[in-house]
Structure 1
Amino acid sequence: MAIGLIQILNEVPGFSVPGDIAITGYDNNHFASESAIPISTVSQPGEEMGAVAADLLLERIANPGAPARNVTLEPRLLPRTSTLGEMWRRD
C-alpha cells in the first residue's frame, strides 16, 4: 500500500515524498527497500518468532499442564528515504 501511495502522491504537481509527507510501511518486504523511494518500515523478527514458537510448542508437549506463557519480541524501525525529508528532522 505504501508503494502505491507514494506513486500516486508523486503524480501530484508540486508535492513530494518525503518533502511534504512521510510514509512508512510494515513488515519490511523486499519492495520497501527496492522502490524508487525506499520506504521506512517496521520489521518483525520473523526467524525469532518461529524459533520461539517452536520452543513453546516443545515445552507444551513435554509439560502439557504448565501455564501458558506470553513472549514479547521487539520489532525494529528501519528508517529510509520515505521519512527523511527536511520537514521531518528533529535536530
Structure 2
Amino acid sequence: MTEQELLDMFTQERVNMLIEVFNQKQLDHPKKECEKILHAEIFIENLPKKEKELVQNYIDFLIRQFALEETFLYQHGFMDGVKMLKHIGKL
C-alpha cells in the first residue's frame, strides 16, 4: 500500500465518521423540507425512463464530484495542519 493509498483510506474513514455524526444531528429535519424531498423523489420516479436515467446520472455525477472535492479539501487541510505544527515546533 502506497503512502497516498493509506492517506486516502484514513481520510475516507474519517469523513465517513464525520458524516455519521452530521446525519445523527440532522434527524430533526423540518417537516416542510422532508416533504419537498419526497415530492422531488416522486417526480423523478415518474419521469419517462430516458429522462429518469438522465436525471439520476446527473445526481450521481454531482455526488461523486462533491465527494472527491470534500476528500481533496480534507486531505489538504490535514496536511496544512501538519505543516503548521512543524513550523510552530521550529519556533
Q: Same fold (TM over 0.5)?
A: no
Give the structure with the higher percent strand: 1
Bigger relative contact order (CA 8 A; separation at least 6)? 2
Give the structure with the higher percent helix: 2
TM-score of the superposition, structure 2-length normalised?
Answer: 0.28
